[in-house]
Every structure is written in structure tokens, then in C-alpha cells.
């Protein structure tokens, strides 16, 4: 299974996926750096819809974790409100640190013992485990090897 919207967002808006743990992503804009909000919307909307549908159908006990009250309206919010917490990475050491931080999130949360055990993480790809839910754009390896 591929995350909905990921291929479309990457192809149409020219971004490379370099690391992820659902719900963190590290992307590299190839051409249109000003389209970050469009990229995030294109990626996040279908993921949120599918995740919420899954929670409603299969894991109702988890649905409360994404349920918020906005005035009188009950909503399900998969992502944090706002545009995200983007960072500009300016060096290879910062890139490695960001990838390690992203991959360690499920371990820090006590969900798995090793980052590559979390099936919704690019840590599996970096560890050479296949198949993966989402292929990483291999240019990141060139960047990491150059550093």
C-alpha cells in the first residue's frame, strides 16, 4: 500500500521524499519551493481522510485521540493545526540528525524497540528492509555520502 496522495504530490509538485515516520516528513523541493503549502495539502489531506476512515472502521477506541470540538462542531483532526513546523536544513550533519530524529520518534513513544520495526517509517528503507510502504527518493543517499 502506498500513502494516498504521495505519488501525485511528489510528481506534480516536484518534491523528493527523503525520510518519514507517519506523521513526520522530510522533503526536498526540486523546483517550486514556494509551493510547500500546496505540497503539504496534497499529501496530508488524503492521508488524514484514509486514517480517520480506518479509525472509524477498525480502531474506534483511538478515534477519541483525534476528535476535537470546534465551537459546536465535532471534528477529527489527524494533523496538528497550523502549517507545520518546517525547518531549513543547511548542512549534511543537520540532515543526518533530522533523519535520525524522525526515525527515533516511534522508539521515543514506546511503540517499538528499534526504529526499523515501525512499518510506517523510512527507517526500514534505510536499513535495507523491503518491501516498504513508501519508497524514498534515492538522491538523499548521494547527499548523505557526499558529507
**Is the confidence at residue 52, as pLDDT, over 50?**
yes
Helices 139-146 and 92-108 pack at an angle, to 10 degrees, of: 120
- pLDDT score of 128: 92
69 phi/psi in degrees, rounded to 5 = -105, 120
32-58 in b/e form (b: 16+ CB < 10 A) is eeebbeebbebbbebbbeebbeebeee
pLDDT band per the 50, 70, 90 thresholds, residue 1: very low
- Give the C-alpha separation, 92 to 80, whole Å: 28
Is the pLDDT at 113 greater than 90, yes or no? yes
Q: Taking the model in full, what pTM does it have? A: 0.62
For the chain, what is the mean pLDDT? 80
pLDDT in tens, 60-85: 787 888 899 989 999 998 777 766 66
Q: What local confidence, expressed as pLDDT, does residue 34 receive? A: 67
CA 34 to mean position of chain CA atoms: 19
Q: Residue 118, CB half-sphere, CA atoms under 13 Å: how many?
A: 23
Print burial letters for 63-74: b (CB count within 10 Å at least 16), e (below 16). eeeeeeeeeeee
Amino acid at each position: 500500500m502506498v500513502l494516498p496522495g504521495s505519488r501525485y504530490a511528489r510528481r506534480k509538485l516536484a518534491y523528493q521524499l527523503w525520510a518519514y515516520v507517519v506523521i513526520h516528513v522530510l522533503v526536498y523541493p526540486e523546483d517550486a519551493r514556494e509551493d510547500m503549502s500546496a505540497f503539504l495539502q496534497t499529501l496530508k489531506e488524503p492521508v488524514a481522510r484514509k486514517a480517520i476512515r480506518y479509525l472509524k472502521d477498525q480502531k474506534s477506541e483511538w478515534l477519541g485521540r483525534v476528535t476535537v470540538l470546534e465551537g459546536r462542531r465535532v471534528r477529527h483532526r489527524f494533523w496538528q493545526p497550523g502549517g507545520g513546523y518546517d525547518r531549513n536544513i543547511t548542512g549534511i550533519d543537520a540532515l543526518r540528525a533530522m533523519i535520525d530524529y524522525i526515525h527515533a520518534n516511534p522508539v521515543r513513544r514506546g511503540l517499538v524497540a528499534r526504529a526499523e520495526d515501525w512499518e510506517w517509517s523510512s527507517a526500514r528503507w534505510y536499513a535495507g528492509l523491503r518491501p516498504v510502504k513508501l519508497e524514498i527518493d534515492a538522491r538523499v543517499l548521494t547527499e548523505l555520502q557526499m558529507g
